[in-house]
Amino acid sequence: MRPRQALVTGVSAGLGQAMAQKLVTEGVEVWGTARDVSRVPEGLRPVALDLGDPASVAACVERVRREAPGLDLLVNNAGAGAFYPLEEFPVEALDAQWRVLLHGPAELTRAFYGDFRSKGRGCVVNVTSLAGDYPIPFMSAYSGAKAGLSAFTRTLMLEAEGSGVTVIDLRPGDYATGFNDAMRGFDAVRRPDAARARDACEAHVRAGPGPGRAAEDLWRAVSQGRSGVVCTGDFWQAGLGPLLAHMAPERLIRRYLSGYYGLKGR
Ligand SMILES: NC(=O)c1ccc[n+]([C@@H]2O[C@H](COP(=O)([O-])OP(=O)(O)OC[C@H]3O[C@@H](n4cnc5c(N)ncnc54)[C@H](OP(=O)(O)O)[C@@H]3O)[C@@H](O)[C@H]2O)c1
What is the predicted pLDDT for the residue at 264?
87
Contact 164, 104 (CB under 8 A): no
Distance between Cα 166 and ligand 1 center (Å):
23
Q: How confident is the model at residue 227 (pLDDT cuts 50, 70, 90)?
A: very high
Mean pLDDT of 234-261: 95
Minimum-distance ligand 1 atom for the alpha carbon of 35 = 41
Mean pLDDT of 213-224: 98
Distance between Cα 12 and ligand 1 center (Å):
9
Distance between Cα 256 and ligand 1 center (Å):
27
- pLDDT tens profile 2-45: 999 999 999 999 999 999 999 999 999 999 999 999 999 999 99
Q: What residues act catalytically?
A: 142
Tell which one of 49, 76, 101, 175 to mutate to probe ligand 1, the residue whose CB is within 8 A of the most ligand atoms.
175
Mean pLDDT of 111-128: 98
What is the predicted pLDDT for the residue at 13?
98
Q: Any residues with CB less than 8 A from the CB of 180 and at least 6 apart, and which?
A: 81, 186, 201, 202, 205
CA dist., res. 6 & res. 43, Å (int):
13
pLDDT of 232 strictly over 80 = yes
Mean pLDDT of 221-241: 96
CATH class of 5-79+91-173+211-234: alpha beta
Q: How confident is the model at residue 96 (pLDDT cuts 50, 70, 90)?
A: very high
| Ligand 1 contacts CB of residue 80 (under 6 A) | yes
CA dist., res. 152 & res. 127, Å (int):
12
pTM: 0.98
Minimum-distance ligand 1 atom for the alpha carbon of 100 = 31
What are the phi and psi torsion angles at 76 (to 5°)? -85, 90
Distance between Cα 265 and ligand 1 center (Å):
30
pLDDT of 266 strictly over 70 = no
- pLDDT tens profile 144-155: 999 999 999 999
| Ligand 1 contacts CB of residue 100 (under 6 A) | yes
